[in-house]
Amino acid sequence: MSTLFRIAIRNLLKNRRRTLTAVLAIAMGYAAVNVFGGFTRYINSNLRDSFIYNQGNGHLGIFREGFLEKGLLDPEAYLLTESETDSLLTMLRARPDVSLATPQLTITGIVSNGSASTIFIGVGRVPSDAATMQERAPGMLGKLKPFEGEPLRDDAREGVAVSEGLAAILDLNVGDGIIAVSPTIDGQTNALDAEMFQTFEAAVDLLNDKLMFVPLRFARDLFATERADRIIVLLNETADTERVREELKAAFREQGQSFELRTWEDLSLLYRKVRQMFDIIFLFLFIIVLVISVMSVVNTVNMAVMERIREIGTLRALGMRRAQIVRLFALESAVLGIVGSFLGIALTLGVWGIVKLIGPTWVPPIITARIPLEIYLVPEYLIGAFIFLLALAITSATFPARRAARQEIVDALGHA
């Protein structure tokens, strides 16, 4: 093998320009896959964490069965009772893998500044729990301040957060008073005074002129109930989501309880769409890289084979077997693949380092503040791309090498 390796290296160095072209094609393809793959992983990770932590949706949502389909039409029948809520919270908070469990109640109605009014969607949650979830977001997401004004407080029922679009419609400033009007759980009309503590940008544009965050106490008083529509569950580790869901489902079945569990991914339609979009883009990029790499290696090997048919005949005449000829060309292609991949790793690290050094910022989808743009180094992509391109280079060389090795020695030596 050492002799074959020396011959392979010499053959590659004979035509440095062609070898360099093939190596650069592989390197650029390797770097493109890993840079875009790292950016895709960064996007998916931040979208996931923003939905779970910053938007306060947690890893799991627990509902009364049928609430998501029919809860708006008949809220009284599908809200969690006070005893069910307390029982669920007690059970969840006793689990070591649960970081936080908190009730939530969504209400709808009309909000007025005294002279103008419009519809609103109010998400009632425990302010301290929402703040805790925000703080536990990994990385920069946990340090963001997603609002202007003062934080909502558990002891200030009247303090609410109003989305920027809704505040603009009602011409509201922080500290202004508003009136929220909503039907109660019994169908009566109820109204409560509130004060705008803060304003924020909604993660979804369609909600930016409707959304309010209110203390759970405010939502319950306005809706005239002590019930909740869901329990939000925040886990210590996102990787435990499916396991915890299955364990909770089994526990509910054993107790004869009809609760519905949805993961953060089930509830985040936008995350799924964005992820699917980037997966498709990544697939197209991978196909392009595949075609370029294959064509580059095949072209290099084919030209080398055509130019070296007499050399192949000489090697065969000296006793080298057909399999060794094929192995020689495969070894040359393997060297191309290895050198190209290592150069690709250097290019990937170079791009990663430049982005890290410059530190550009941007506002991704569903994240309402500027965050650093990053490219993740994904070990499985780095290793997977290396193995794939190496195997591709060897496979691409095998077929033309076999074809050349099958020639008779006399024909190969007489090739012009």
Condensed to tens digits (0 to 9), the pLDDT of residues 188-199 reads 999 999 999 999
Condensed to tens digits (0 to 9), the pLDDT of residues 103-159 reads 999 999 999 998 999 999 999 999 999 999 999 999 888 888 889 999 999 999 999
Condensed to tens digits (0 to 9), the pLDDT of residues 33-74 reads 999 999 999 999 988 999 999 999 999 999 999 998 888 778
Q: Is 147 helix (H, G, I), strand (E, B) or coil?
A: strand
Residue 410 pLDDT: 64
On the question of pLDDT at 175 being above 90, the answer is yes
The answer for residues whose C-beta is within 8 angstroms of residue 172's C-beta and 6 or more apart is 113, 162, 166, 178, 196, 199
Instruction: Please give the distance of CA 87 from its chain centroid, rounded to a whole number.
Output: 34
Whole-prediction pTM: 0.84
Query: Taking the domains of the chain in order of start, what are their residue ranges?
Result: 2-49+271-413, 58-267
When pLDDT is averaged across residues 167-191 and rounded to a whole number, the result is 95
Q: What is the DSSP letter of 143?
A: G
Nearest-angstrom CA–CA distance, 21 and 301: 12
Nearest-angstrom CA–CA distance, 364 and 263: 22
Q: Quick one: 234 exposed, middle or buried, by C-beta within 10 A (0-12, 13-18, 19+)?
A: buried
On the question of pLDDT at 369 being above 80, the answer is no
- Token couple for 12: 């590659």
Measured from the Cβ of residue 86, the count of other Cβ atoms closer than 10 Å reads 13
Q: Quick one: what percent of the chain has pLDDT higher than 70?
A: 97
Nearest-angstrom CA–CA distance, 192 and 118: 15
Contact indicator for 154, 129 with CB cutoff of 8 Å: no
